[in-house]
């Protein structure tokens, strides 16, 4: 039998699920906990309350692990939103929510400069103003040195995994929502990183889904 705890976070609520797979291949799902995932206005932007979210996740995992020790823990969330961490691994700010209006119209502005056909050929991703590419473009326009204090760039599930394991990684499937990848190389696009002034030092080689990155702390 295989026992897994799944962290499933949406843009309004989250839950911890236990997934048990019997030796015969039967899958059984049980909800361990459910909690809100809220955004609020902070420093002039709509930001996720990531501290509260991580606390609820840890509480749910502690409850699930107390009932049955898991063989694995996995996390998925909505896409595009991100955080910057400093050299000590501390977050520089709570992540801005994709619903924040800062990117309105900036997708069109960026596309006019970069080229629509060039962008679509490079990324293979639908152009939407919520994409990470345009969020970073908004940051760049507001402050060209926005990443000066950053050492790491992570998406929300990467950050949750880091809070649980102490390991900083960039996972491929969540990165694919960003419009920052070269689809032919399945890797970060240096052209796009440069276009939004995101230093290459901030991103890590992409890990594939299902890769074990570390050991989970269930202390709550």
Overall average pLDDT of the 74-78 stretch: 98
What pLDDT is recorded for position 84? 99
Domain ranges of the chain: 2-207
* Rounded Cα gap, residues 85 and 70, in angstroms: 29
Overall average pLDDT of the 143-168 stretch: 97
| pLDDT 10s digits, 169-192 | 999 999 999 999 999 999 999 999
DSSP-assigned letters across all residues of 40-68: EEETTEEEE-HHHHHHHHHHHHHHHHHHS
The reported pTM is: 0.96
| pLDDT 10s digits, 109-153 | 999 999 999 999 999 999 999 999 999 999 999 999 999 999 999
DSSP letter at 22?
-
| pLDDT 10s digits, 38-60 | 999 999 999 999 999 999 999 99
Q: How many CB atoms lie within 10 A of CB 215?
A: 11
Band the pLDDT of 218: cuts 50, 70, 90. confident
List residues bridging with 14 in a β-sheet.
9, 35
Q: For residue 102, is pLDDT > 90? A: yes
What pLDDT is recorded for position 220? 59
For the domain 2-207, what is the CATH code? 3.30.420.40
What pLDDT is recorded for position 219? 72
On the CB side of 173, CA atoms within 13 Å amount to 9
What pLDDT is recorded for position 217? 79
């Amino acid at each position: 039998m295989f026992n897994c705890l799944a962290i499933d976070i949406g843009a309004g609520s989250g839950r911890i699920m236990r997934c048990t797979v019997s030796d015969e291949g039967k899958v059984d799902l049980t909800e361990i906990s459910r909690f809100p995932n809220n955004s609020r206005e902070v420093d002039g932007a709509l930001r996720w309350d990531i501290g509260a979210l991580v606390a609820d996740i840890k509480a749910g995992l502690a409850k699930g692990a107390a009932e049955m020790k898991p063989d694995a823990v996995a996390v998925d969330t909505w896409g595009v939103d991100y955080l910057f961490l400093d050299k000590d691994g501390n977050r520089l700010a709570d992540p801005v929510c994709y619903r924040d209006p800062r990117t309105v119209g900036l997708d069109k502005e960026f596309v006019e400069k970069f080229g629509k056909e060039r962008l679509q050929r490079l990324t293979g991703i639908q152009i939407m103003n919520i994409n990470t590419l345009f969020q970073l473009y908004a940051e760049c326009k507001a402050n060209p040195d926005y990443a000066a204090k950053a050492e790491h760039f992570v998406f929300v599930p990467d950050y949750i995994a880091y809070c649980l394991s102490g390991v900083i990684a960039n996972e491929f499937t969540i990165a694919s929502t960003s419009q920052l990848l070269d689809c032919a190389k399945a890797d970060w696009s240096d052209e796009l990183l440069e276009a939004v002034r995101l230093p290459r030092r901030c991103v890590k080689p992409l890990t594939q889904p299902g890769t074990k990155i570390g050991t989970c702390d269930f202390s709550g």
